């Protein structure tokens, strides 16, 4: 069996607690003022918009049409909320990591460019006629030395 007095007392206590919390809690203006103190900015932009519509009047038994307009004021509130320390810290961290990544890719690209440039220069040096002529001159010099030694009948002491 449910005790009716206890049930009504419980409901009354719940209602009184809800009312107490409702009136005791802080208002929206308190939070707005607190945000403004911390650096929030509320900007209001007001625009006027004309709304045209077709209207008619019955005059002397004839329907007469004309265009009319009404001005409507549109108000937009934009709120700028400053960033917290954590948000600015993470932004700076992301920017720093991006700069480091860009520097790393630039270094790798410079190394690759220098390497390809070196290879091109070496390839030009290998196929140049001056190096071929030097090599032929050395060979001809050795052949000439061997011929001279053979004609003079001197033995090479190895």
* Model pTM score: 0.34
The CA-atom distances, in angstroms, between 2 and each of 6, 7, 30, 123 are 8, 8, 44, 102
- Which band of pLDDT confidence, cut at 50, 70 and 90, is reported for residue 126? low
Q: In which residue are the tokens 């937009």 written?
A: 76
Pick the more confident residue, 33 or 110.
Answer: 110
Selection from 74, 86, 19 nearest residue 49 by Cα: 74
- The pLDDT of residue 154 is 60
- Which band of pLDDT confidence, cut at 50, 70 and 90, is reported for residue 157? low
Lowest mean pLDDT: which of 65-69, 96-100, 135-139? 65-69
Question: For residues 66 and 26, is the Cβ–Cβ distance under 8 A?
Answer: no
């Amino acid at each position: 069996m449910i005790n009716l007095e206890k049930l009504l007392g419980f409901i009354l206590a719940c209602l009184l607690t809800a009312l107490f919390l409702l009136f005791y809690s802080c208002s929206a203006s308190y939070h707005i003022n607190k945000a403004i103190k911390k650096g929030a900015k509320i900007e209001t932009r007001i625009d006027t918009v004309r709304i045209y519509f077709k209207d008619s009047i019955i005059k002397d038994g004839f329907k007469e049409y004309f265009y009319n307009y009404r001005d409507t004021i549109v108000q937009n509130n934009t709120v700028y909320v400053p960033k917290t320390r954590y948000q600015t810290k993470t932004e700076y961290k992301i920017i720093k990591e991006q700069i480091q990544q860009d520097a790393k890719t630039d270094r790798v690209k410079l190394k690759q460019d220098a390497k390809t440039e070196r290879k091109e220069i070496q390839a030009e040096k290998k196929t140049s006629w001056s190096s071929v002529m030097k090599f032929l001159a050395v060979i001809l010099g050795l052949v000439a030395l061997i011929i001279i030694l053979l004609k003079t009948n001197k033995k090479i002491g190895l």
